[in-house]
């Protein structure tokens, strides 16, 4: 667990709850529950939720086969476990008796309606969107989290330097993606759960999964990968050319300029919209603005997409120890796609790139 521990995080959560006039918060397995408890669990079909009231101990409703690690975590809580034979209703009623939910309760966005409907049979406070509060708490990283983010970025960045040797004329995107995944695990990643390889015209579909398409000389190949080290994400994109690709090279120069300008514009006290504007402005002036079809970046942490979001016109102010991507792209349907992405950490002043992977056109030769 990162420096600061679960106790201080619970305290900050309650401070934020007080500011938002919430009487409690409801979480389920996922990044928020891991952030506050240090325990990672899967979100499946069995009702499994943590109720955190403004006062008193939180109560966890958990399947018996999942409850064990929470008995050892540092965050104080009452555990109401249940077996498949018993069903969850009794455990939920016991948690409600302990917490007495009333008033305004923030619910995280990943709570399944199945869980909420079971809870509403026992209690019915006013449920509100708790996601902004939880995302806001996690957006500014503590010392321990910063170290894990840097380590994660180093692992993935080093892996990318080995990707060019995986490319050969006639290899399929799926074959290259499998080989790249093995490289990342070999470098020390905990998990690789987002591996995109898109060649030629398929690069114009930014989130298309690897296919059986064969990679050919003269094409650009986009690698976009998210991987973790001890739960914390790195996310990098590079566009690599197999052989000469003059049209890709021309677009690449402007995308690279846009990425560099976006990183340079970031810093403590800067609005996210200013970072987006710095990148987007380069592409607009080059006549490529209409081909840039997404935001400039997103936060990184226990999720590969979290706050802050580097979006056009965004008013959120960047703060020290926020970590996010800068990833402008150009997508011309039927022709090509080019995207370059690095991870940026806000220090005392300007944003600092922590991925350290080469990106000048031709670095892969």
pLDDT digits (tens, 9 = 90+) for 205-247: 999 999 999 999 999 999 999 999 999 999 999 999 999 999 9
Check pLDDT > 80 for residue 6: no
5-138 has which CATH code? 3.40.350.10
As annotated, the residues of the chain forming the CATH 3.90.230.10 domain(s) are 140-353
As annotated, the residues of the chain forming the CATH 3.40.350.10 domain(s) are 5-138
pLDDT digits (tens, 9 = 90+) for 252-300: 999 999 999 999 999 999 999 999 999 999 999 999 999 999 999 999 9
Average pLDDT along the chain = 96
Check pLDDT > 80 for residue 4: no
Instruction: Supply the pLDDT for residue 132.
Output: 95
Instruction: Supply the pLDDT for residue 1.
Output: 41
140-353 has which CATH code? 3.90.230.10
What's the CA gap between 186 and 283, in Å, rounded?
A: 37
Instruction: Supply the pLDDT for residue 74.
Output: 84
Please report which confidence band the pLDDT of residue 3 belongs to, taking 50, 70 and 90 as the band edges.
very low
Beta strands 104-107 and 24-27 are: parallel
Q: Global pTM?
A: 0.94
Residue in 265, 273, 263 with CA at minimum distance from that of residue 352: 263
In sequence order, what are the residues at sequence separation of 6 or more whose Cβ sits closer than 8 angstroms to the Cβ of residue 87?
none
Instruction: Supply the pLDDT for residue 7.
Output: 58
Check pLDDT > 50 for residue 26: yes
Answer positive or negative: Cα dihedral of 296, 301, 305, 307. negative
CB 310 within 8 A of CB 341: no
CB 347 within 8 A of CB 267: no
Crossing angle between the packed helical segments 89-99 and 113-120, to the nearest 10 degrees: 70
């Amino acid at each position: 667990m990162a420096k600061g521990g679960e106790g201080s995080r619970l305290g900050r959560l309650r401070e934020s709850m007080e500011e938002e006039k919430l009487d409690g918060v409801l979480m389920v397995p996922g990044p928020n529950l891991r952030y506050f408890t240090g325990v990672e669990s899967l979100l499946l079909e069995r009702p499994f939720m943590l109720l955190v009231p403004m006062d008193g101990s939180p109560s966890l409703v958990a399947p018996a086969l999942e409850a064990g690690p929470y008995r050892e975590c540092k965050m104080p809580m009452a555990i109401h476990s249940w077996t498949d034979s018993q069903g969850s209703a009794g455990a939920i009623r016991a948690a409600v008796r302990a917490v007495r939910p009333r008033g305004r309760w923030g619910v995280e966005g990943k709570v399944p309606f199945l869980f909420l409907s079971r809870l509403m049979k026992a209690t019915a406070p006013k449920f509100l969107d708790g996601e902004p509060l939880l995302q806001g708490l996690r957006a500014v990283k503590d010392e321990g989290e910063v170290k894990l983010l840097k380590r994660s970025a180093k692992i993935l960045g080093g892996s990318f330097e080995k990707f060019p040797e995986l490319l050969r004329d006639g290899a399929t995107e799926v074959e290259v993606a499998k080989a790249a995944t093995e490289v990342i695990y070999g470098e020390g990643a905990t998990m690789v759960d987002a591996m995109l390889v898109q060649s030629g015209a398929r690069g114009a579909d930014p989130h298309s999964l690897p296919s059986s398409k064969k990679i050919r000389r003269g094409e650009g190949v986009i690698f976009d990968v998210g991987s973790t080290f001890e739960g914390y994400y790195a996310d990098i994109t590079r566009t690599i050319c197999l052989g000469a690709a003059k049209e890709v090279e021309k677009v690449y120069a402007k995308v690279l300029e846009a990425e560099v300008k976006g990183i340079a514009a970031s810093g403590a006290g800067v609005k996210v919209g200013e970072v987006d504007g710095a990148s987007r402005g380069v592409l607009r002036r080059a006549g490529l603005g209409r081909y840039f079809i997404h935001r400039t970046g997103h936060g990184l942490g226990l999720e590969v997409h979290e706050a802050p979001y580097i979006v056009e016109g965004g008013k959120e102010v960047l703060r020290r120890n926020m970590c996010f991507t800068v990833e402008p792209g150009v997508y011309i349907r039927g022709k090509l796609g080019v995207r370059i992405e690095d991870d940026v950490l806000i220090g005392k002043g300007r944003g600092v790139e922590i991925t350290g992977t080469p990106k000048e056109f031709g670095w892969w030769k």
